[in-house]
């Protein structure tokens, strides 16, 4: 069975005001000290937490697993540990894909970040966004690229399901996932063309880096790509999710997409020839609507209601879900998401009941981790 891993980016916020805090260095130092003290761990190896572009962020990566119950435990454990380490910086962690409150982010130190700031200006300086990346193992680059070519139409549905960034700089953006719009300011971000082979994929990556616009392979920000580090396909379209069960749902669907695409490739079925231009529109529509407006149907590229688009995704991957033992989990997860809403819907509901964005952050910190201290007044 294919292994799955999840990376989550979390905001570090002040427990009094809910404002983002630039304390990732202190938080990571606390994480490193904890790793050093663990029996059998030398030199802080197996460290799960890393810095991100901005000092107001903390990233963690789960270990690869094959069972979704184990992945759920991993995510909850990492969130709990992140909350504990954040206290060293006088902060709490919150799983929001953008800050509801106004913020002027602080770029992390280092030559790479300095280069990004000089090259991309405001795009880099304002890029305080938190995503959820799902890795699924593949047998080879050739299989991985075959998967990338065949999952393209379905990715916008995952953006809509995960949407958790309705607010930007203290205002309602009008989007369910405004993170996806801010992220797509990067010149290499968004949907990619059909590659056809691993050689052509790597040729395209080399050509993009060769322009000098991008620093290295780590800046290939396709919606889905071959990981430069692991033998995986990496999907990068999702917001970090407020409810810790939602990334597990996304991971199960993603593994289903990868397995379904790999089977189609082995059976000689060609990828759908949907243009990248249409996929960009589907991505925009998903970011705008989340679950609270129309989406583009992955098979027809025509407007439909969100439940129909999600049902189409479920039917597409159902055989793989059944084979993985994930069908019940996915059906229950979809029903819960449709009944209770994604993070964007929850945040807007909280604003109506709590009356301030600071209180929204407060409540979301509690939802992120039971070990988080309160944020907001």
All structural domains of the chain with their residue ranges: 13-368
Q: Ramachandran region of residue 196, left (φ > 0), alpha (ψ -120 to 50) or beta? A: left
CB 272 within 8 A of CB 263: no
Q: Say what the pLDDT of residue 373 is.
A: 46
Mean model confidence pLDDT for the chain:
94
Chain segment 179-222, per-residue pLDDT in tens: 999 999 999 999 999 999 999 999 999 999 999 999 999 999 99
> Mean pLDDT throughout 153-178?
98
pLDDT bracket for residue 35 (50, 70, 90): confident
Q: Is residue 176 pLDDT above 60, yes or no?
A: yes
366 alpha carbon, distance to own chain's centre: 20
pLDDT bracket for residue 370 (50, 70, 90): low
Q: Is residue 372 pLDDT above 70, yes or no?
A: no
Q: Strand ranges (DSSP E) for the chain?
A: 4-13, 49-50, 57-61, 92-94, 131-137, 167-168, 171-172, 224-226, 232-239, 295-296, 303-304
- Residue in 124, 331, 154, 321 with CA at minimum distance from that of residue 233: 154
Q: Say what the pLDDT of residue 193 is.
A: 97
Quote the pTM value.
0.95
The CATH fold assigned to 13-368 is Creatine Kinase; Chain A, domain 2 (3.30.590)
CB 131 within 8 A of CB 236: yes
> Mean pLDDT throughout 78-97?
97
Chain segment 305-354, per-residue pLDDT in tens: 999 999 999 999 999 999 999 999 999 999 999 999 999 999 999 999 99
Using CB atoms within 10 Å of the CB of residue 328, give its burial: 0 to 12 exposed, 13 to 18 middle, 19+ buried. exposed
Q: Say what the pLDDT of residue 44 is.
A: 43
Q: Say what the pLDDT of residue 375 is.
A: 43
Q: Say what the pLDDT of residue 38 is.
A: 62
> Mean pLDDT throughout 108-132?
96
Q: Say what the pLDDT of residue 46 is.
A: 45
**pLDDT > 70: what percent of the chain?**
95
Counting every residue written for the chain, the total comes to 377
Q: Say what the pLDDT of residue 48 is.
A: 87
Using the structure block, give the residue that is written with the tokens 């260095």. 25
């Amino acid at each position: 069975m294919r292994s799955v891993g999840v990376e989550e980016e979390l905001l570090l916020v002040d427990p009094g005001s809910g404002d983002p805090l630039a304390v990732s260095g202190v938080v990571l130092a606390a994480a490193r000290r904890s790793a050093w003290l663990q029996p059998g761990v030398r030199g802080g190896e197996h460290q799960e937490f890393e810095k991100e572009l901005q000092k107001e962020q903390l990233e963690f990566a789960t270990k690869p697993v094959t069972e979704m119950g184990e992945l759920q435990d991993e995510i909850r454990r990492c969130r709990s540990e992140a909350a504990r380490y954040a206290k060293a910086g006088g902060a709490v962690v919150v799983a929001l894909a953008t800050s509801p409150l106004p913020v002027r982010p602080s770029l992390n130190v280092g030559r790479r970040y300095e280069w990004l700031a000089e090259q991309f200006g405001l795009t880099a300086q304002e890029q305080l966004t938190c995503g959820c990346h799902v890795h699924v193992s593949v047998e080879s680059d050739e299989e991985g690229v075959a998967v990338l070519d065949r999952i393209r139409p379905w990715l916008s549905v995952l953006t809509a399901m995960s949407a958790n960034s309705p607010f930007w700089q203290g205002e309602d953006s009008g989007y369910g996932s405004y993170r996806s719009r801010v992220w797509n300011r990067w010149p290499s971000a968004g949907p990619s063309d059909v590659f056809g082979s691993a050689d052509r994929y790597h040729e395209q990556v080399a050509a993009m880096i060769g322009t000098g616009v991008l620093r290295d392979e780590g800046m290939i920000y396709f919606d889905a790509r071959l990981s430069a580090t692991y033998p995986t396909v990496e999907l990068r379209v999702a917001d970090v999710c407020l409810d810790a069960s939602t990334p597990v749902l996304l991971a199960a669907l993603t593994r289903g997409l990868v397995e379904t695409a790999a089977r189609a490739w082995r059976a000689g079925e060609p990828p759908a020839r949907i243009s990248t231009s249409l996929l960009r529109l589907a991505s925009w529509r998903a970011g705008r609507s989340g679950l609270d407006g129309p989406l583009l149907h992955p098979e027809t590229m025509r407007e439909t209601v969100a439940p129909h688009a999600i049902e189409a995704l479920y039917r597409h991957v159902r055989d793989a879900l059944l084979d993985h033992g994930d069908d019940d989990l996915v059906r229950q997860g979809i029903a819960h998401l449709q009944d209770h809403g994604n993070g964007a819907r929850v945040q807007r509901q909280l604003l109506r009941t709590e009356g301030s964005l600071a209180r929204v952050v407060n409540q979301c910190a509690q939802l992120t981790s039971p070990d988080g201290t309160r944020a907001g007044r």
